[in-house]
Structures are given as C-alpha cells and as structure tokens.
Amino acid sequence: MTTTSNLSHIHRFVPGQDRQHPPLLLLHGTGGDENDLIGLGELVAPGRALISPRGKVLENGMPRFFRRLSEGVFDEEDLRRRASDLAGFIAEASEAYGLGAPVALGFSNGANIAAALLLLHPQALAGAVLLRPMTPLRSPPPAELGGKPVLMLSGAADPIVPAANAGALADVLRERGASVRHETLPAGHGLTQADVQQTKAWLAGL
C-alpha cells in the first residue's frame, strides 16, 4: 500500500478483500494528498478496494483537483479539463487493478470534483458520497444519471458553503436523475463523527 506514480495521477491503491461491492475513489480536500482519506475509507467501508489519487493542481504548494480564482469561485475551464483527466485516470486504474466503476468519497474540493465528474462524465462513477460539496459549474450540461446513488452531507454552520449553494447542487443532480439523499449536519466545514456514521450506514445499504 505505497504511493505510486505508474498511472496518470500519483495515487495509493489498497486492494481490499471485498470484491462484491464497488471500490471507493477517495478524493481529498485542498492541501491534502493521497494519504488523507485512506483511514476514513477503511472506517466507512471495511474491506473495499480503495483508489486514492492526488490532485494535480498546486495552490501555494497545496494540492487540489482543479484551479480556483478565489474561495468558492472556480476556474471552470480548468475544472472541465481536470475532470476529464480524472475520468481518464479512473479508467486506467480500473483496467490496471481489475475493478469496476468506483463510488467516489470526496471531501470539500474532492467532493466538488466528484460532483463535476457526475455531471460531465457520469459513466466514470457508480455513485458518490459528497462531504461538504458545492455547485461546481454555473451552467451544468444535461446528463443522464439514471438513478445513480448520491449522499450529500452538508454542515449547518459551514463558513465556506452557503446552504442555498449545496441545495442547488442536490436539485441539479436530482433533475438529472440521480437518487440523492442530502442531509445537513450540526457541523462546520470539517468532518464529524456523524459524517462517518452516516457515510458508513449509507454505503452498507448500496
């Protein structure tokens, strides 16, 4: 379980023993890396294969999955390009490790690129857990999400994500046919024990 760069993204891969359920694609927040969410993945989905890429954009030395112009204002051209690159990485990793389409588990910036993947490359993911997500695209394209399961967990006191913004993302995903459960927890932008419990219970029911 070491970091490798043999595919297009530096990443970690944990093979797991559970091949009945989809693998998890772990997507870290700003300033994180491929190591950050491994422990969370093992906690919420014991035994699943884990694929954990590192975001390729550096903001003052901090890895991210796409560029932003300021907090909450995204460089959408870069976002579209990076989402396409990440979809390519998922296909490479699936082939290299013999896996089916993963369920994304993304936090903050990682949740936002996962939401962009759902909207731009829906075939890349089997579903997604979006922890503290916001709407990634001002004008999301039409997409057919065909009942794809999505769990969104927002924080009632999140200083980064306004409630209306997260609500708009849930609406956009539902309009495109995703099966969305959106909960707002008594939390800020950081994760809490409730995030762990809700994610674990939701993944167990997939």
- The residue (of 33 and 92) whose beta carbon lies closer to ligand MLT is 33
The answer to whether residue 72 forms part of the interface with ligand MLT (CB under 6 A) is yes
CA angle at 68 for the pair 157 and 52, rounded to the nearest 5°: 80
Task: Kindly name the residue from 78, 85, 94, 189 that is annotated as catalytic.
Answer: 189
Q: Which segment (3-11, 108-116, 150-158, 162-170) binds ligand MLT by CB under 6 A?
A: 108-116
Task: Kindly name the residue from 108, 121, 154, 195 that is annotated as catalytic.
Answer: 108
- The residue (of 6 and 71) whose beta carbon lies closer to ligand MLT is 71
- The residue (of 101 and 153) whose beta carbon lies closer to ligand MLT is 153
Cβ-count burial of 196 within 10 angstroms (0-12 exposed, 13-18 middle, 19+ buried)? middle
- Expressed in percent and rounded to 5, the helix, strand and coil fractions of the chain are 35, 25, 40
- The residue (of 26 and 101) whose beta carbon lies closer to ligand MLT is 26
Task: Kindly name the residue from 28, 52, 158, 195 that is annotated as catalytic.
Answer: 158
Q: Which segment (8-16, 33-41, 68-76, 95-103) binds ligand MLT by CB under 6 A?
A: 68-76
Q: Which residues contact 130 (CB under 8 A, 6 or more apart)?
A: 104, 106, 111, 114, 115, 150, 151, 152, 153, 169
Ranges within 157-196 binding ligand MLT (CB under 6 A) = 160
Q: Which segment (89-97, 104-112, 163-171, 191-199) binds ligand MLT by CB under 6 A?
A: 104-112
21 catalytic, yes or no? Answer: no
Residue 31 in 3-state DSSP?
A: coil
33 catalytic, yes or no? Answer: no
Is residue 137 a contact partner of residue 68, using CB atoms and an 8 Å limit? no
Q: Which residues contact 195 (CB under 8 A, 6 or more apart)?
A: 131, 153, 185, 187
What the block records as the tokens of 103 is 């369920």
Which residues of this chain interact with ligand MLT, rule CB under 6 A? 29-30, 68, 71-72, 108-109, 112, 160
